[in-house]
Structure 1
């Protein structure tokens, strides 16, 4: 596996650059909003001046074209003009609502919160008060920064999950590379051991000795095969789930302390399931060893094979101290362990073997201070 720190640096640089660009857009939008609001304020002050001329004009006095044009040119900004006698005029507001005094009072308070009212006066005498709200364009522009913030948040979430997935992928490649290298390194001395064992047999050594050595060599071959399959898609063939589970059970029973009470049961005699035996047996061994560790080397381990419909469940139960309910999901994550010593890789490997390779499911079926039951579920073709 090739580990390239420059790629990580470039990703971080791209992330920072993206945030800077979006932040500049947000800042520029905010500046534009403020400038647009100031221009709208100026437009309303000009309109107020024209209105002041209108209020001061005599009935027979003609207004200039500019004043009339200013007064008639505002078609976008909603306004409420309250004269000093209390009478009210509206502009650019729903006609069916302007007769509702409660509605007008509410809108006046709203407009006052959005923009400072403009006092129309002449020589110190107050003639009217102009309340105006934001135009439709300004209202849309006001929510644009919120939309940008949402985009930033979503963008950040996508980048976060991208890096998280990328990191997990790199870790998986690292572990797969280490596993394959381990299998490769074990292969050389293993071949040598096979040769030495054959020589011992030729020297008429006690057959029991060479037989036990052969078992250990076979065990090393199984371990090598398991590690060599990590990181690649293993081939699944039809195997009897009952006999394969019992095989793993018998192996562990012979090599465990006499303080551990083992039991095996099945409600079926035989059932063919797509399996990769070395990896499946590895999963059973990991679950049993975890149970033994939880019991501190003394207690009971039971393995049950139960067929329900098109599913076969393998239940591995121990009488250990149990798993906290809040850790039912996290214990399958790499690096998570409830032990004082441990790498936290056993259950994550089991999850990968069962769910990714065998398309099954694994979960904590139940757990309490009296013990834990782990359940593997696989699909059967019968």
Structure 2
């Protein structure tokens, strides 16, 4: 028969087999997300190699086509030179037509300039319909200036008169082919971006279903043993031979479990939101939490908000966020240090900022970018879900933001929560 409160409160210890299974499940959970990240990197590398390969192969084709076009223009220059220097009466009409057809086939714009620098022959030059002779001359001169910059002139020897020159530009086909790899790269990146958005949306939807299912199942599974425990509490109270303090201690743990059940139930459904005085919620919960962590951790709350400043929130879920961040801070400090909580609001805004700073070991920039990822944890037995849930609660349910404001190795970390406040009047807002 129990007659006195035990000197030392018994602690629950996980069975070694259950602990091993829990660690295996955690590793499996983290490996799943690591494999997904690895899969994304593999896909990105494959796309990069395909793009580079396409670029090099297209450049190879462009070089070959450019060489071919240069040969056609040189052949045209030789035929033109032969025709100019030929004896009167010789007929090169057929030969010139064949060569010009070859140049026209590739649509290579070319201009022959005589020994005096005046344009004479023009092929594959396009002029606007009904354009005047003056307008055509301007187009020819502009095209000639551009051709001089694109390719070296091909000389045409004129017997006894000096040299003429042929200038030319790349064909339309060659110009388009030069642009093709960049257009295809842009298209591939755009399609890849759309695929990434679709994949991310599908994955988030899947994660949401998992979160909801897990939360509902957890709340459901906790319901039956809680009812049984409450019955045992009432029984202990009704039994005169049992010390009443035992029932009180058990009831405290039952209330704690009921709060956890309520939190999971809220995660699994649309939570009820109420106007709450944010400073009171934070201060009261910090007082509650301070008694349940290491006595070597000191909490300091600085409230710079206007009196009665309220926020639309779900109190149970919001306290869960504070708890997750503070417990991570306690772990980072190895149970020894300070946690400072500052509540403030920039003047004339609807924004409330809650900064939670610790004097722990800090974190690297790489870890700062991954700290909210599901499955990421720096603790051996951590599941890496606490901060993920905190981010979900703040962003999805409270339409706010939570992020690592700053962190320095060996000095500590500051988390910032941003909430949308309810304006409580001009006079009180001026006091902020």
Q: TM-score, normalised by structure 1?
A: 0.73
The one-character-per-residue Cα deviations of 1:173-213 (angstroms, maximum 9, x if unpaired) are: 33332232222211221122122222222223333222222
Q: Counterpart in 1 of 2:382?
A: 342
Q: Counterpart in 2 of 1:61?
A: 89
Question: Gaps spanning 5+ residues in structure 1: where?
Answer: 1-7, 122-126
**Distance (Å, rounded) in 2 between the aligned partners of 1:365 and 1:46:** 70
> Which segment is superposed worse, 91-100 or 179-188?
91-100
**Equivalence map 1:157-306=2 (5 Å):** 157-204=193-240, 205-267=242-304, 268-306=306-344
Q: Partner of 1:57: helix, strand, or coil?
A: coil
Of structures 1 and 2, the one with the larger relative CO (CA 8 A, separation 6+) is 2
**Distance (Å, rounded) in 1 between the aligned partners of 2:269 and 2:374:** 18
**Distance (Å, rounded) in 1 between the aligned partners of 2:324 and 2:337:** 17
**Distance (Å, rounded) in 2 between the aligned partners of 1:30 and 1:261:** 66
- Once the two structures are TM-superposed, the CA of residue 284 in structure 1 deviates from its matched residue by 0.9
Compared CA separation, residues 139 and 374, structure 1 to 2 (3 A): closer
Q: TM-score, normalised by structure 2?
A: 0.66
8 Å Cα contact 1:238/1:272 also seen in 2: yes
- Once the two structures are TM-superposed, the CA of residue 372 in structure 1 deviates from its matched residue by 3.0
Q: Partner of 2:371: helix, strand, or coil?
A: helix
**Distance (Å, rounded) in 1 between the aligned partners of 2:285 and 2:307:** 16
The one-character-per-residue Cα deviations of 1:40-83 (angstroms, maximum 9, x if unpaired) are: 6786577457535523533x426365456558776752335589
- Once the two structures are TM-superposed, the CA of residue 323 in structure 1 deviates from its matched residue by 3.2
Q: Partner of 1:322: helix, strand, or coil?
A: coil
8 Å Cα contact 1:292/1:298 also seen in 2: yes
**Distance (Å, rounded) in 2 between the aligned partners of 1:200 and 1:320:** 43
8 Å Cα contact 1:80/1:88 also seen in 2: no
* Structure 2 counterpart of 1:357, from 377, 394, 397: 397
- Once the two structures are TM-superposed, the CA of residue 120 in structure 1 deviates from its matched residue by 9.5
Q: Counterpart in 2 of 1:146?
A: 182
> Which segment is superposed worse, 133-142 or 43-52?
43-52
Compared CA separation, residues 51 and 302, structure 1 to 2 (3 A): closer
Q: Counterpart in 2 of 1:330?
A: 370
**Distance (Å, rounded) in 2 between the aligned partners of 1:365 and 1:56:** 82
- Once the two structures are TM-superposed, the CA of residue 250 in structure 1 deviates from its matched residue by 2.3
Compared CA separation, residues 333 and 53, structure 1 to 2 (3 A): same
8 Å Cα contact 1:81/1:129 also seen in 2: yes
* Structure 2 counterpart of 1:312, from 352, 357, 371: 352
8 Å Cα contact 1:80/1:108 also seen in 2: no
